[in-house]
Chain A
Amino acid sequence: MKNFRNDLKSKYLFFDGGTGTVLQSLGLNPGEAPESWSLTHPDKITELHRAYLSAGANIIKANTFGINPLKYTNYAELISASISCAKEALSDCPDAYLAYDLGPLGRLLSPLGDLSFEDAVEAFSKCLSCASDLGCDLILIETMADSYETKAAVIAAKETCDLPIVVTNAYGSDGKVMTGADAEAMSALLEGLGVDAFGANCSFGPDMMLPIAEKLLSVSSTPIVMNPNAGLPTVVDGKTLYTTTPTEFAKYIKEMATMGVTLLGGCCGTTPEHIREAVKAVNDVPFKAPTEKNDTVVSSYAKAVTIGNDPILIGERINPTGKPKLKAALRENDISYLLIEASREEEAGAHILDVNVGLPDINEAEMMKKAVKELQSVTALPLQLDSSDPKVLENAMRIYNGKPLVNSVNGEKEKMDAVFPLVKKYGGTVVALTMDESGIPNTVEGRAEIALKIASEAAKYGIKKKDIIVDPLALSVSADKDSALVTLGAVKKITELGFRTVLGVSNISFGLPEREKINSTFFALALENGLSCAIMNPFSASMLDTYYAFRVLHGLDNGCLDYISYADKAKAERAETPQADLTLSYCILKGMAKEAIEIASRVKSDPLGVINAEIIPALNEIGQQFEDKKAYLPQLLMSADAASGAISELKKLMPSASDGGKGAVILATVKGDIHDIGKNIVKVLLESYGFKVYDLGRDVSPENVLDAVKNTDCKLVGLSALMTTTVPSMEKTVSLLHEYDPDIKVMVGGAVLNEEYARNIGADKYSPDAMGAVRFAEEFYGM
């Protein structure tokens, strides 16, 4: 009885080659979809499969690559016809495998495009439920140029069936997929999701694929697949030909096999002859099963971060505990505060960002989802998803674009039962706290024992030790004089047991004054005992001093280059003395954001007085200059940025209730449109004038705008649309709002609109520019 998962581990397997390019030689017109031939020329499709089987392919791809419900309403019929063709061919070769071939949907996922992650999962699931019903042996997810879409496809596959999953991505010549992930990041994501094999296809010829193969083999413990094109296309005598001959192609395939690639085949331009030669060439290459790698890796949409001997800094700033400003931001649904913190942490040198949005009075699951979505659109750093509620973790892990660090599990049975299935399904490296039903042991041995217990329970789910990072827990040393010694001993012991470790370093100083002094010394001691990562404040100079010095002293900083550049930067910052003669109003007028923030940060009292005396007059002046065409839009925006920065500094002196006293405005870019520049300009200007802005983002449905009106009680709405094709969706939004409440005022703007057009779609006000929006808001609130 054939078994794909067993074969995968014991022998070379060969995929077939190109479909579209071969069909073109049989009469398929350029631009005509290959899948349509499953209905119109089923005999030709079967013949093609047979040709590949007789060339020696063990796996044939059903002619389903281009089929999905977003492109075809009759997708089920097409799928069924395609699979019939393949089965017909396989009737003579019962040992060969039938792969359902799942290609990209042809739409880009949010935030880059307008397709939501869940809609993508649903579209893939519709195809795949057909695949398992019709008796495919495996699922091949191929030519994926986006890591996020790849994840959506794998999740759909895991949710619809138990078939083996093979994934191949299309890499560019820069060694990355189109949306930014490199081979290491793809490997982390796909191994985390537990696919059976993965690799690369299409893109370029076999020569260009060698470096990708080499990278994947060096980091992956999973079998690697390579299905290259037959080189680049050229034209000879008016016919499109691919340059790599079957013999040449086979030479590269043999080289890949020698390197350790065990699933091989072809993509565009390859023919049964290419596959025949490839099979022959690999015949005498001994089979090499993949070697087990022990690196602990997490990833973002762009890159992988390895947690090993070189310490990793996990920024702790996005966690409301002890941070009143963040608490207020979360309660007000103000995501931009989180995004700015994240971007500052990245700039300060954090490698991973902790995200915790748990507050008793907010919907943590929804907020977490929103925060993760937004954060992964501004930072390329991997995230540590941090919540005590497994439901919240699941929400975040599902939509996370990469392999996250998951914080946390502990030795309690109930907790492990809830968290490990999530790690198994969505992938992740999990933080394991050394505590259980009986609390936190106060001995080194007790904590080490819990670590071992957690690892052995994880193993039952197939979660490897390398994907567990143990947190032996730092507890306040002021409450127990030996607590630091136990924690440090536990770090050492647990490291010796072969685990990576993490600590929330600052907990150690809880209850003491001048906490950084204790924290940085404790951090140094923990590192010396083997600590792999620290959850810490990346804005703390003394913590960074310790980190950079430790790396020098431990031989981790070649030529001390990182330390020198850190020291130079720190020195330069100290030397930067504020220019005493600059006033706040001057800085705002000139759009000097950095200086404006600096001056505002030195204000000690009467923030409202400063806003009224310095900021508002400066804004009025630049606004007037703009209206008189004496200043330009970029200058107006720079002033607004400077004013917003200064105001948020000054707000630190104000009780949070006094925010947005001027009134509120809801802003959105309408459904179908992702041009949000105009909307952002209006937002920054309204905010600098003191209005509270509820920014719903871009591609917002009419229903969501109405929901925002209901939730906030704000009756002034601004909508933007940049394309003629999205104005209808603006019209729909306006009429939905007016139907709900005729008192709602809607102002609209955008390149394709004008006064008359705006009136036609029922808008209350057309604003040609951002100042117009500010003036209308002032008028609305009777100012």
Chain B
Amino acid sequence: MIKHGIIPLPEVDRNELRARLGCPIESISLIPKCLKGLNDCVSAKFVSRFCDIIRTESGIDLGFGEITSKDLIKNLGECKRAAVFAVTLGSDVDRLLIKLGKLMPSEQFVTDAIASALSETACDEAEKLIFDGLSHAPRFSPGYGDLPLELQKPLLNFLDAEKTVGITLSPSLLMTPTKSITAIAGIIE
């Protein structure tokens, strides 16, 4: 079944942010201002769907076509079921980034880094809501390893993501809102 809902405003993971900015957080005086501006715009949502992992001749099928990615198969290990999900911070974040890009590029850069870090935390929070105590493997996204980006299309269709959380895909396979993540995670039983 498709489950969707709102994710409470996530906290920024400082290590993740440090990695995204490429420098110590303390050295950037803009962060509090950018964080405030961003928090006013974030409206994080998720959509998820559980599925059986069906082993096929050359790979697996989760319900939206055969996947032959060795890395994903390795990641799913012995799992018999998985959750497919998508998380987005919403389109107001994109509006903010567009605006800052035109007016204050330094703030755009910092805000973008915070938003990217925040979308990872939003995914962590979404996993708590999705798995609800079930133990699960780490999430794996299209674009990781040999899992092709082309998978975004059937995956988002499978989740009815346009209708449920407002994620659409451009012909160049870019998700909008841009601060969106799709992922697959196996359930460990």
Q: In the complex, which residues 166-189 of chain B have their Cβ closer than 8 Å to any Cβ of chain A?
A: 166, 168-174, 176-178
A30 adjacent to B63 (CB under 8 Å):
yes
Is A736 an interface residue, CB under 8 A from the partner?
A: no
Is B133 an interface residue, CB under 8 A from the partner?
A: no
Contact of B102 among A377, A634, A637 (CB under 8 A): A377
Q: Which of B64, B154, B158, B166 has the most CB of A within 10 A?
A: B166
Is B147 an interface residue, CB under 8 A from the partner?
A: no
Q: In the complex, which residues 131-169 of chain B have their Cβ closer than 8 Å to any Cβ of chain A?
A: 149, 154, 157-158, 162-163, 166, 168-169
A637 adjacent to B109 (CB under 8 Å):
yes
A632 adjacent to B21 (CB under 8 Å):
yes
In the complex where A107-B170, A202-B163 touch, is A31 in contact with B64 (Cβ < 8 A)?
yes
In the complex where A634-B28, A672-B171, A725-B173 touch, is A339 in contact with B92 (Cβ < 8 A)?
no
Q: Which residue of B lies closest to A111 (CB)?
A: B98
A336 adjacent to B102 (CB under 8 Å):
yes
11 further interface pairs, Cβ-Cβ under 8 Å (given A180-B92, A374-B102, A637-B106): A31-B154, A111-B98, A114-B170, A114-B176, A340-B103, A378-B102, A632-B23, A634-B21, A635-B27, A674-B174, A675-B174
Which residues of chain A are within 8 angstroms of B54 by Cβ–Cβ distance? none
Minimum CB–CB distance from A599 to chain B (whole Å) comes to: 18
Interface membership of chain B positions 7-39, coded 1 if the CB is closer than 8 angstroms to chain A and 0 otherwise: 000000000000001110001111000000000
In the complex where A378-B99, A725-B173 touch, is A112 in contact with B105 (Cβ < 8 A)?
no
A673 adjacent to B1 (CB under 8 Å):
no
Q: State in angstroms the CA–CA spacing of A234 and B3 once bound together.
A: 8
Pick 26 A–B contacts, CB within 8 A, sort by A.
A31-B64, A31-B157, A107-B169, A112-B94, A112-B95, A114-B171, A143-B163, A178-B91, A180-B95, A233-B1, A233-B2, A377-B95, A377-B99, A378-B102, A632-B28, A634-B23, A634-B28, A634-B110, A635-B23, A635-B28, A638-B30, A677-B97, A680-B105, A680-B109, A683-B105, A723-B172
Which residues of chain B are within 8 angstroms of A234 by Cβ–Cβ distance? 1
Which residues of chain A are within 8 angstroms of B172 by Cβ–Cβ distance? 114, 672-673, 723, 725-726, 729
Q: Which residue of B lies closest to A343 (CB)?
A: B103
Which residues of chain A are within 8 angstroms of B94 by Cβ–Cβ distance? 112
Q: State in angstroms the CA–CA spacing of A217 and B49 once bound together.
A: 37
Chain B: residues with Cβ within 8 Å of the partner, total of: 50
Is A640 an interface residue, CB under 8 A from the partner?
A: yes
Is B69 an interface residue, CB under 8 A from the partner?
A: no
B residues with CB within 8 A of A: 1-3, 6, 21-23, 27-30, 43, 63-64, 90-92, 94-95, 97-99, 101-110, 112, 149, 154, 157-158, 162-163, 166, 168-174, 176-178
Minimum CB–CB distance from B180 to chain A (whole Å) comes to: 11
A residues with CB within 8 A of B: 30-31, 104, 106-108, 111-115, 143, 145, 170, 172-174, 178-180, 202, 233-235, 240, 336, 339-340, 343, 374, 377-378, 591, 632-635, 637-638, 640-641, 672-677, 680-681, 683-684, 723-726, 729
B104 adjacent to A723 (CB under 8 Å):
no
A675 adjacent to B149 (CB under 8 Å):
no
Q: Which residue of A lies closest to B34 (CB)?
A: A634
Which residues of chain A are within 8 angstroms of B149 by Cβ–Cβ distance? 723-725
B98 adjacent to A180 (CB under 8 Å):
no
A113 adjacent to B103 (CB under 8 Å):
no
Which residues of chain A are within 8 angstroms of B105 by Cβ–Cβ distance? 637, 640-641, 677, 680-681, 683-684
Which residues of chain B are within 8 angstroms of A680 by Cβ–Cβ distance? 101, 105, 108-109
Q: State in angstroms the CA–CA spacing of A233 and B49 once bound together.
A: 12
B106 adjacent to A591 (CB under 8 Å):
yes
Q: State in angstroms the CA–CA spacing of A729 and B98 once bound together.
A: 22
Which residues of chain B are within 8 angstroms of A240 by Cβ–Cβ distance? 1-2
A113 adjacent to B168 (CB under 8 Å):
yes
Which residues of chain A are within 8 angstroms of B98 by Cβ–Cβ distance? 111-112, 377-378
Which residues of chain B are within 8 angstroms of A113 by Cβ–Cβ distance? 168, 170, 176
B22 adjacent to A675 (CB under 8 Å):
no
Q: Which of B101, B108, B171, B172 has the most CB of A within 10 A?
A: B172
Which residues of chain A are within 8 angstroms of B177 by Cβ–Cβ distance? 112
Minimum CB–CB distance from B7 to chain A (whole Å) comes to: 13
Which residues of chain B are within 8 angstroms of A676 by Cβ–Cβ distance? 101
Q: State in angstroms the CA–CA spacing of A729 and B172 once bound together.
A: 10
A640 adjacent to B102 (CB under 8 Å):
no
Q: State in angstroms the CA–CA spacing of A343 and B108 once bound together.
A: 15
Which residues of chain A are within 8 angstroms of B95 by Cβ–Cβ distance? 112, 180, 377
Q: State in angstroms the CA–CA spacing of A194 and B95 once bound together.
A: 28
Q: Which residue of A lies closest to B49 (CB)?
A: A30
Contact of A339 among B23, B91, B102 (CB under 8 A): B102
Which residues of chain A are within 8 angstroms of B90 by Cβ–Cβ distance? 178
Q: State in angstroms the CA–CA spacing of A233 and B5 once bound together.
A: 11
Which residues of chain B are within 8 angstroms of A684 by Cβ–Cβ distance? 105-106
Contact of B106 among A172, A202, A343, A638 (CB under 8 A): A638
Minimum CB–CB distance from A212 to chain B (whole Å) comes to: 17
Minimum CB–CB distance from A26 to chain B (whole Å) comes to: 18
A723 adjacent to B174 (CB under 8 Å):
yes
Which residues of chain B are within 8 angstroms of A632 by Cβ–Cβ distance? 21-23, 27-28
Minimum CB–CB distance from B157 to chain A (whole Å) comes to: 6
Q: State in angstroms the CA–CA spacing of A272 and B97 once bound together.
A: 45
Q: State in angstroms the CA–CA spacing of A377 and B100 once bound together.
A: 10
In the complex where A143-B163, A641-B105 touch, is A179 in contact with B158 (Cβ < 8 A)?
no
A31 adjacent to B63 (CB under 8 Å):
yes
Minimum CB–CB distance from A653 to chain B (whole Å) comes to: 23
Minimum CB–CB distance from A577 to chain B (whole Å) comes to: 21
Which residues of chain B are within 8 angstroms of A673 by Cβ–Cβ distance? 172, 174
Minimum CB–CB distance from B145 to chain A (whole Å) comes to: 14
Q: Which of A30, A145, A340, A640 has the most CB of B within 10 A?
A: A30
Minimum CB–CB distance from B111 to chain A (whole Å) comes to: 10
Minimum CB–CB distance from B134 to chain A (whole Å) comes to: 15
Q: Which of A180, A340, A637 has the most CB of B within 10 A?
A: A637
Q: State in angstroms the CA–CA spacing of A637 and B28 once bound together.
A: 11
Q: Which of A113, A173, A635, A724 has the most CB of B within 10 A?
A: A113
Minimum CB–CB distance from A33 to chain B (whole Å) comes to: 9
Q: State in angstroms the CA–CA spacing of A107 and B157 once bound together.
A: 13
Minimum CB–CB distance from B12 to chain A (whole Å) comes to: 15
A677 adjacent to B109 (CB under 8 Å):
yes
Minimum CB–CB distance from A439 to chain B (whole Å) comes to: 42
Q: Which residue of A lies closest to B154 (CB)?
A: A31
